[in-house]
Amino acid sequence: MPPKTAAIEKPVFSEDELSDLHKLLNDQIADHMHRQKLGELPYCKKIPTSIVETWHLVHIFKKTQRTAERKMALARKRAGKKPGDPITVKQFCKATKMDEFTVQRALDLLT
């Protein structure tokens, strides 16, 4: 009987996607801060979001609903969560290898 080979895990985001997403998030944050300086948006401190939801991926990363659901399912699996379980920002970032600070700032722009 041949030995079983370990399944190669596909990354949630490829290296190119990670760099593109990081640039997109930084651009969105810079635009938001610029609009605050112009007086178009108010300066306010909100309670930070601690849970990443599928709709966050749709709005932040400009992905379709189905793509966002697949990415969330893969992130939940990597984090050891069951389907439908909430996933924290820290767990999401660890599973996707994204920068936690940048993701948290982008989530704060939505709330």
Whether 98 is in a domain gets the answer yes
pTM score: 0.69
Determine the pLDDT at residue 28.
84
Domain that holds residue 108: 52-111
Number of domains in the chain: 1
Whether 78 is in a domain gets the answer yes
Determine the pLDDT at residue 22.
83
Q: For the chain, where are the E strands, in sequence order?
A: 51-52, 87-88
The pLDDT tens digits along the chain (111 residues) read: 555 555 667 778 788 888 888 888 888 888 888 888 888 877 776 677 889 999 999 988 888 999 999 999 999 999 999 988 999 999 999 998 888 988 888 888 776
Determine the pLDDT at residue 107.
87
- 77: how many CB neighbours lie within 10 A of its CB? 14
